Amino acid sequence: MQQFELIAPCHFGMESVVKNEIYDLGYEISEVSDGRVTFTGDEEAIARANIGLRSAERVLYKVGSFKAQNWDELFNGTYALPWDEILPKNAKFWVTKASSVKSALFSPSDIQSIMKKAMVEKMKTRWHVTYFDEDGASFPVRVFLYKDEVTVGIDTTGESLHKRGYRRLAVKAPIAENLAAGLIMLTPWKAGRILVDPFCGSGTIPIEAALMAANIAPGMKRDFTSKTWTDMIPGTIWDDAIEEAQDLVDMEELKNTDIQGYDIDPDAIYAARENAKSAGIEEYIHLQVRSVEQLSHPKKYGFIITNPPYGERINTFTPGSNTPESLSEIRSERTSPKQAAPAPASEGAEDIAPLYKALGERFRALDSWSMYLITSYEDCEKQIGIKAAKNRKIYNGMLKTYFYQFPGPKPRG
């Protein structure tokens, strides 16, 4: 089989998690950089990575890279890439996204336009036509410029990998599924251990934990752009990858795992239950309307993994549609910088301080438990009343957050 260089973009700060996932799939890492992990694999790797990666945002087929400090260099560098060997004659191809950091070329629209022209000119040399219908399979191109180094990739995924397909209802700014999964993988939690999220919102962290406990691949029930690349990736490869993922599912592990989600908002719990039902794991997780002050558990060595409020205003919603867009008034689940900027310290900070204080009190009352939480709230440790053993900087889009880690003792025996 043909070997490809593949790129898995991810949240800044989650590179090590993605790297470990790729190793677990059996592929070699060639480079790790901020927000990206590059690895090598064949056609099967494209299918298996898209279906199996929990913490990555997408999988790109790297076409090549080159230096460009002016528009002529960008055109010539793009033209030199083997588009005529990759794209079929009827391919629909365009530069869907361009980003530039510390580079002479920084206008996304101009980068997209010039690269498209170069791609068309290169395709003309192969097919000897002046116009392309572009009515075939889609080949969306993504380009990253960093210090004038241009990296070009074709998106094999389509909609971001965080869109598993189970989220029927959402709060205003839900934590992304791939970020939730990555956070869980940054902890020692595993199937068979207790997990409680006392600010579960629409249930993302408990649902992702349940999928992990049962070893249900996140991409088993969705489509990918590269499924239509039949000249490059035969349909049998996708069939085999899905069959492999199905064979690895172990519901018995999930049955023996205690996963719970609480939220003070009944509408959020309604959304969480609908999402759990859509994911096919509703009978295996316990979702309940409960305040953080009521957090308790009779057993030892459990985990709190949560995404508490950051300080923005709290809203409510009325369920009435099965699309997240219809729930714009639902209470925020507090992590998406694209939808809600972090509130100034003076706005909402006083309101959430008691929540962190109550969380700290309940955590201290849980003998031998561990706690992991992501937040941009600066007084997190002060209000919890415990200094974190460590924290990890993670960028959720452009919002800088920290993953605070309060590990407890390991179980005896």
Distance of CA 388 to the CA centre of its chain: 25
Q: What six digits make up the tokens of 163? A: 């869109």
Is there a single domain that holds both residue 142 and residue 191?
no
Is there a single domain that holds both residue 185 and residue 146?
no
Is there a single domain that holds both residue 188 and residue 111?
no
Helix (H) or strand (E) holding 120: helix 108-127
Closest CA to 100 of 68, 144, 57: 144
Query: Of 14-28, 178-192, 336-350, 382-396, where does mean pLDDT reach its minimum?
Result: 336-350
| Residues 124-130, mean pLDDT to the nearest whole number | 95
The answer to whether position 162 is within a domain reads: no
**What HEC string does 45-99 produce?**
HHHHHHHHCCCCCCCEEEEEEEECCCHHHHHHHHHHCCHHHHCCCCCEEEEEEEE
Is there a single domain that holds both residue 104 and residue 136?
yes
Block residue for tokens 């969380």: 359
Residue 1: predicted pLDDT? 76
| Residues 314-329, mean pLDDT to the nearest whole number | 31
The answer to whether position 182 is within a domain reads: yes
Closest CA to 201 of 261, 259, 258, 286: 261
The answer to whether position 277 is within a domain reads: yes
Q: What is the mean pLDDT of the chain?
A: 91
| Residues 344-357, mean pLDDT to the nearest whole number | 71
Tell me the residue length of the chain: 413
| Residues 72-92, mean pLDDT to the nearest whole number | 97
Q: What is the pLDDT of residues 368-401, one digit of tens each?
A: 999 999 999 999 999 999 999 999 999 987 889 9
| Residues 61-65, mean pLDDT to the nearest whole number | 98
Q: Would you give the end-to-end CA distance of the chain in angstroms? A: 47
Is there a single domain that holds both residue 108 and residue 211?
no
Residue 240, judged by CB atoms within 10 A of its CB (0-12, 13-18, 19+), counts as middle
Is there a single domain that holds both residue 119 and residue 201?
no
Cβ(373)–Cβ(306) below 8 Å: yes
Residue 350: predicted pLDDT? 63
Is there a single domain that holds both residue 59 and residue 96?
yes
Q: What is the DSSP string of 187-207?
A: SS--TTS-EEETT-TTTHHHH
Closest CA to 93 of 64, 122, 128, 65: 122
Q: What is the pLDDT of residues 208-225, one digit of tens each?
A: 999 999 999 999 999 999
The answer to whether position 38 is within a domain reads: yes
Query: Of 25-34, 151-160, 258-267, 314-323, where does mean pLDDT reach its minimum?
Result: 314-323
The answer to whether position 334 is within a domain reads: yes
Phi, psi of 107, rounded to the nearest 5 degrees? -85, 110
Is there a single domain that holds both residue 117 and residue 192?
no
CATH assignment at residue 401: 3.40.50.150
Using the predicted structure, report yes or no on whether residue 325 has a pLDDT greater than 50.
no
Q: In which domain, by residue range, is 43 found?
A: 4-155
Using the predicted structure, report yes or no on whether residue 322 has a pLDDT greater than 60.
no
Residue 397: predicted pLDDT? 77
The answer to whether position 130 is within a domain reads: yes
Domain count, the chain: 2
The answer to whether position 160 is within a domain reads: no
Dihedral sign, Cα of residue 102, residue 96, residue 11, residue 152: negative
Is there a single domain that holds both residue 253 and residue 116?
no
Is there a single domain that holds both residue 117 and residue 212?
no
| Residues 114-121, mean pLDDT to the nearest whole number | 98
Is there a single domain that holds both residue 120 and residue 260?
no
Residue 4: predicted pLDDT? 97
pLDDT band for position 252 (cuts 50, 70, 90): very high
Using the predicted structure, report yes or no on whether residue 314 has a pLDDT greater than 80.
no
The answer to whether position 370 is within a domain reads: yes
CATH assignment at residue 68: 3.30.2130.30
Pairing verdict, β 138-146 and 370-375: unpaired
Q: What is the pLDDT of residues 329-341, one digit of tens each?
A: 223 333 333 333 3
User: What are the residues facing 101 on neighbouring strands?
Assistant: 146
Is there a single domain that holds both residue 211 and residue 110?
no
For the sheet containing 259-263, what is the strand order?
Answer: 285-289, 259-263, 195-197, 303-306, 370-375, 399-406, 390-396
Closest CA to 167 of 320, 338, 324: 324
Cβ(180)–Cβ(208) below 8 Å: yes
Angle at 100 between CA 78 and CA 123, to 5 degrees: 15
Closest CA to 361 of 180, 203, 198: 198
Cβ(156)–Cβ(224) below 8 Å: yes
Instruction: Round to whole Å and give the CA distance between 388 and 320.
Output: 41
